[in-house]
Amino acid sequence: MIKDSRRLPLADWQLEDSDRLKAIFQKKRGALKLTQEKIAAELGDGVTQGAVSHFMNRRTALSLRAAAVFARMLEVPVAEFSPVLAEQLERLSSSLTPPQGSLPPKDPDPTAPTASTPLPAGDDVKAVDDKYAFIPQYDARAAAGLGSENPHVEIRATLAFKRDWLRAKGANPQNLIVIYAEGESMWPTISDRDVMLIDRSKIEPTNKQIYVLVGAEKGAIVKRLIQTPIGDWILRSDNNEGGGNPDRVISRSEFNEHRILGRVIWRGGDL
């Protein structure tokens, strides 16, 4: 199995955020008597000076929590260095303010983690970031059929997932990405244009689980992996109507030619 340890690339807007943040820090650090060590201490959770430097040198994308700390210590609004995060926070907060006289929705099991629940209202950036993880949404497709080529991939936006739901699934937000399905061969489990949450740390095949695989010939595909008694693997489509999506058996030696991008741990789409 070919492993891929490359760090996820930053989108253009995230690179621009980093440049603006660095410029503001350099301009104001003298008057405010700021150091990267002081910012690291405010960020907490074992954040080092090096991690702060990464935010300002195009290596690590800003989270909402980090943006809130930088904004407070630099005495500027978040929008001054990250218009995207500022707009995202405003949109999420305002859209979740219930109308007057409305009743809160009933939850059949309030103790059970779910993929998404109401975000904290108001402008408490830390509260939002503590509750939700924002997963990069890539403009890439994994074909449920023959394969999909993605020669140029960009981040379109982010999707918010509840952190306790991710913890219940054993998923680390840093290992997650969102891409799209293409085709109907994985129907009814996954339909054409469904959103898929991929855990890139799950690159060792597990019997009967669904994975996104990347091969040199057919590009990205999404299939269920079935292990045979002799250790080979079957690429199986869930949609077997009409016999149009036959199983494909891959020997252990052939399997090395395919890189598992990650396991599909959630999908979302139209009913």
pLDDT at 120: 42
Helix (H, G, I), strand (E, B) or coil at 190: coil
Gyration radius (Cα) of the chain, Å: 22
Is there a contact between 209 and 198 (Cβ–Cβ < 8 Å)?
no
- In the three-class reduction of DSSP (H, G, I as helix; E, B as strand; rest coil), residue 16 is classed as helix
Burial 41-79, CB ≥16 within 10 A → b, else e: eebeeebeeebbeebbeeebbbbbbbbbbbbebbeeebe
Distance, in Å, from the CA atom of 131 to the CA atom of 4, rounded to the nearest integer, reads 29
Q: What is the pLDDT of residue 43?
A: 80
Q: How far apart are CA 233 and CA 38, in angstroms?
A: 52
Cα 167–173–174 angle (5° rounding)? 140
pLDDT at 44 (0 to 100): 75
Count the Cβ atoms, other than its own, within 10 Å of residue 184: 18
pTM of the entire predicted model: 0.60
Per-residue pLDDT of the chain (271 residues; tens, 9 = 90+): 334 434 557 888 889 999 999 999 999 999 999 999 999 888 876 788 998 999 999 988 887 778 888 988 899 988 899 988 887 666 555 433 333 333 333 344 444 444 444 444 444 566 666 788 878 777 767 765 444 454 445 566 678 888 899 999 999 988 888 888 888 889 999 998 898 999 999 989 999 999 998 876 667 889 999 999 888 899 999 987 766 788 888 876 666 667 888 999 999 877 6
Give the chain's domains with CATH numbers.
12-95 (1.10.260.40), 133-268 (2.10.109.10)
DSSP code of residue 11: P
Q: Could you write out the DSSP letters of every residue in 113-146?
A: --S--PPPPSS-HHHHHHHEEEEEEEEEEEESSS
For 130, the token pair is 């503590």
70, containing H or E segment: helix 64-74
